[in-house]
Each structure stands twice: as C-alpha cells, then as structure tokens.
Structure 1
C-alpha cells in the first residue's frame, strides 16, 4: 500500500502539517503522561496528519525483561487507543515493526558529533542512575529519536521540557544533512501545549510526576480505580495557607489547579471562585472525583481492547504498513543522496 502526505496544490487548502510523537512502553501511564502528552495527541489528530509510535526500541537502552516488554508494548498500544487515538485518523504503530527507524539512525549517526551527544543532559542523568550499564544505545538514543521524527518529515513534535534538548539536536542534524545534500528533511519545531504540559508529583510538587517514584501516593496511574484516585488526591501535599489560588510558592495547589483545569476545562480564575471560602480538603476531593470521572471511559475501553488481541494486531499491523510506506520514501531519498546503490 502506498501513502503520502499530499503537497499543496493550486486552489486547494494548504496541506495539514505533520506531527510525530512517541511514548515508551514502560508500564502503565501516569496521569502526567496522559494530561501532558496523550490527551493532547487526541486533540491534535483533528487538525494535523499525526504519526504516533510506541517506541519500544528506545526502551531497551535499559535492560528489560523480554516477556514484560512484549506485554507492556501491547498494553501501551491498547492504552493510546483507549485514550482516543483513532487508528483510522492517525498512523499508530510499534517502532520495532518499521525497519526504517534503525536504518536511518545509522546514516544520521554519521552526521552527529560525539560532543553533541555527550552534552545531552538526559544521558548524564541516566548514566548516573544506570552506572552498571552505560551502553552505546543509551548514548545514541537522541539519534534514534531524530530518525523517528525526520522519517515522517514532521513539522511539529509535541515535547516536554525534558525532551526539548533532544529535539534541538534533531533540528541540528536535519539542517546539517540539508546543508550538504539539499532540502531532504523538514526541520521540525516543538509543539508545547500551554496547559498541563508538566504534571507534578502529588507528594513532592516540585518534582515531575513519575511512576518510578518510590511513594505510590505520588502518582496516579490512568488505570487506577476511582477510590484509589480520590484517596491519593486526599493525601496530596499542599501548603499551610487555606486559599485555592495559583501563585508562586504554592507548588502543590498550583499542580492541583493545573490538573483540575485540564480535566474540567475551567480557567484558574473560575477554579479560584468555585472554591473561595472552602478548605483544601473540599478542593482535593473535587480534583480526585473529576480525575476519576475523566479517566472512567479510558479504563473501560482499555479493559475491552486488551481482551481483543486480534483487533489490536490488525490495528498495529496496518499502522506499521502505513508508517513503512511513508518512511521508506524518505529513507530511499537519503540513501540516494549519500551515494548508496539502489
């Protein structure tokens, strides 16, 4: 099957821009993953040509249990569909099913400087955390990320603050290659949503919410049961004041207001007015109930999808076929430019 993004034609509307994003299959997503990334993915597919991937090749930079990785990959794919990614509207696939990602990475390695990779802060952080396994893949991770993006001629990449440095490297690699061989790659820009871009820990609101947190009350899994969600929000760290207001120095309340705003659509002013004269206890319960209700259809759809392995396989196989058709075109052009025989 052949698929392409249609070019701009005379008297026709301008083509939709292309967005690429990926998520690692490292267990059940947190509320932070959902509100900061996946929820935005769902909205973006209405306005853009979206390419979404479960990036399981990135996951093996850290040692994985093979059986668990397969299960996590399938669950991550089911979860993005449960969250609202439509495999008919968007290209949704598993990274290792599309060979062009590994193939383009090698070429891009030859256009990436050692010094650039050694300056990546995430490599430094992970090297300290996984000192017994500082492998070449961990070092080279940003080049695979660049290949992920550039293969689809992505105009925009939704990224959090922690991935912005990697996107800058992708831009540098694209510009360097284009400078030698002409206009081969689209140089991608960051797409950073204004609200809910960074959801913080419920127990330490100066830290990003993470499922690796040793305190289970610090994060919400999007498959947590309603009673678990409400209980965790009741225990959320706030401050010694009693005013629900968004301002500097109120990290816990600011985080809860951000979450409540994203799931309800209410502005910070509306939230402040809603809880004027009320205590933090009422506010935390309201946030917990709103989040539990917001996630209810996701939980229900996931439970149905994960039981239907045949449907999931059909979706990710079709997604891989569509992804390969587009990415192979880019790779063929790159191979020709660098001088490889057809």
Structure 2
C-alpha cells in the first residue's frame, strides 16, 4: 500500500442537548476558534447524535440553533470555517452504516461512555446510543479529518476512529482513510462541576448553581463563581499543591483557560491568597470574557433565519467535500451507484 498524504483538516462537533455550558466553551468552542487559520476547519452541530435519546422536536431545533449561535458568538467565522448541522449532510449517516459493518462488537463493548450513560438500563437504551461511536467515526473520516480537538473523555472515541480507519484500509488494501490525531491541550479541556470538583460540569446537573450556562447574564455568572465550592486552605505555592483539592484545581484551571495562561502562572500570581481574594477576581474575569458572548448569543437567537442561512451555506460547503469521499468509499467497497 502506498502512503497517502492527507491535507491537514480539523473536524469536531457539539451535541445540541440542553444548553451550552462553560465546559462546552472552554473544552471545545474556544479551542475551535483558536484553530481557525492554522488549517482547514470544519465544525458541526451533531444533531443526529442528540436523538440517541429521545428529544422534544421543538426543543431540539432550538438547541441546534443555540449551539450554532454559541459558535458564532465566541468568534467562529463562517467564511473562514465551515459550520453546519450534521443532519443536513446525509453522507454522515451513509458512511456510518459502512463503518457499522467494519467496526467489531467487541470494540463497542469497550466504550466506557456507553456504560456510563446506559448504566443499569443497558438493555432498554436505543441501538443508536450503543452504535454512536461508529457515527462519530463517520463524522470525522467523511472529511478525511487529520485532527480532532476533543476533551479527555472523548479520546477513546477518536482511538476507535483510528481502529476503524485502519481496519477499512487493511480490509480493502488501500490507504484511503487517515489516522486521525486527537488534539487534547489546554488547562480546562475538562471543566468540572462548581459544587463537586470530582464531577464533570453537565447541562443536565440537578442544580443550576453547579454550572455556568453560556446564556447566563453577568450578575448570574459572578454569583455562581462567588458561591462555588472551594476548601479551607489558601492557594498553594505550586500547582502540585492542588493535588487532592479538586474544587481548587478546577477554579484555577478555569481562571487559566479564561485568561489564556497556565495554572502555573495563576498560582504564581495568587500563591497564598484566600478564596475571598481569588473568587471575586475569577468572577470579574469570567464576566469580562463570557458576558459579551452571552449578549451576542441572545442577539443571534432573535434572528433564527440568519442562523439557518449560515448552517445551510455551511452544509453545501461540507457536502462538496463529503460527497466525493463517500462516492470513493462506495466504489472501494464495491457498491454500485
């Protein structure tokens, strides 16, 4: 097999289920915006993934537009990046079926996220929830994406994508799909709960005080950070001193990510400081960075037709890349068109 050189290309997406949180912003959207201009960037609202569990149709449509508004408000340029919602490009679902026939059941059984989401009710969840890592692989490989910015919790799915690509290439004796690289960097790729630093910040958490919603206003953002859980100790002299202090580590990581610096730099500035000094500083920083995004999201959501126009245009551009790759895939497999 001759080695193919693939054009550097980024693909990633966010699921429209519930509202966007600070975790979505720091762990994904902020990084997406930062990668613009470095290589070709394709970003998606993965609405097909959302329906692996039942969604109210009107709420799903609203949430899809809201995620798109979050991308745009945070600085994603739809003329520089491709932005669309997944269901507008049917090639995603078509390639997913081929990958369902490439992936092995044993691989799916090892996916820890399915076990976490299904819990004790694994026999009652949808087949889509079980098989969605195959669709995720299709999302990525449909564009021959070489880089995928993800959180640590999604690394296993990118590794599965590599396994599927390698097995397809091996089975059909062709170097057609790339080995995608997960891009996991930055101080807050996994933002934790403001009430429990051992749990990931979630859209579906029990209390609204445990998360920062991207539509929260300035007063709400400040209140949540000032009331966030911490501990009794002052900030240490080094980052190593944050070990076994999950709430403290989370707040320092958030500060670092919002200020485009490192946890070490934050600790250097606040070593020995108590929470009475640090939390108000974090709240002020968060308001300065997030309130303008919240305001712009509100403005964008007041014009859903414009959001739909941007998504439709992005889908046309995405399809122009995806359709030839799917057609080549069909030809390699031997499917007549």
Instruction: Give the TM-score band, short-chain normalised.
Output: over 0.9
1:211 counterpart residue number: 203
SS in 1 for 2:37: coil
CA-to-aligned-CA distance 1:220-275 (integer Å, 9 cap, x gap): 11111111111111121212212355321222221111111111234434433433
User: Helix, strand or coil: the match of 2:13?
Assistant: strand
Aligned length: 330
The answer as to 2:93 corresponding to 1:93 is: no
Which among 328, 331, 335 is matched to residue 336 of structure 1?
331
Distance 1:341 1:46 in 2: 38
Corresponding position of 2:316: 321
Unaligned runs of 5+ in 2: none
Which range moves more in the overlay, 326-335 or 179-188? 179-188
Instruction: Report what 1:260 is aligned to.
Output: 255
Q: Post-superposition shift, 1:93?
A: 0.4
1:151-206 Cα offsets, whole Å, 9 max, x none, are 00000111112111111111011001111220111120111113211111111111
The 5-angstrom pairing of residues 1-342 of structure 1 reads: 17-128=8-119, 133-181=124-172, 182-245=174-237, 246=239, 247=241, 248-342=243-337
Q: Would the alpha carbon gap of residues 131 and 16 (structure 1) be closer, same or farther in structure 2, given more than 3 Å must change?
A: closer
* Counterpart Cα distance in 2 of 1:51 and 1:88: 11
Q: Do the aligned partners of 2:215 and 2:298 also contact (CA within 8 Å) in 1?
A: no
How far apart, CA to CA, are the structure 2 residues paired with 1:122 and 1:269? 31
With the length of structure 2 as denominator, give the TM-score of the two structures.
0.93
How far off its partner does 1:140 sit?
0.7
Whether the 8 Å contact between 1:244 and 1:280 is mirrored in structure 2 is no
More displaced stretch, 101-110 vs 296-305:
296-305
Q: Are the structure 2 counterparts of residues 284 and 129 from structure 1 closer, same or farther at C-alpha, using a change threshold of 3 Å?
A: farther
Tell me if structure 1 keeps the 8 A contact 2:73–2:296: yes
Structure 1 alignment gaps of length 5 or more? 1-6, 9-14
Change (3 A) 1:147 1:204: same
For residue 130 of structure 1, report the CA deviation from its aligned partner: 5.4
**CA 266–67 in structure 1, closer or farther in 2 if over 3 Å, else same:** same
Q: Secondary structure at the match of 1:271?
A: helix
RMSD of the TM alignment (CA)? 1.8
C-alpha distance in 2, partners of 1:222/1:264?
17
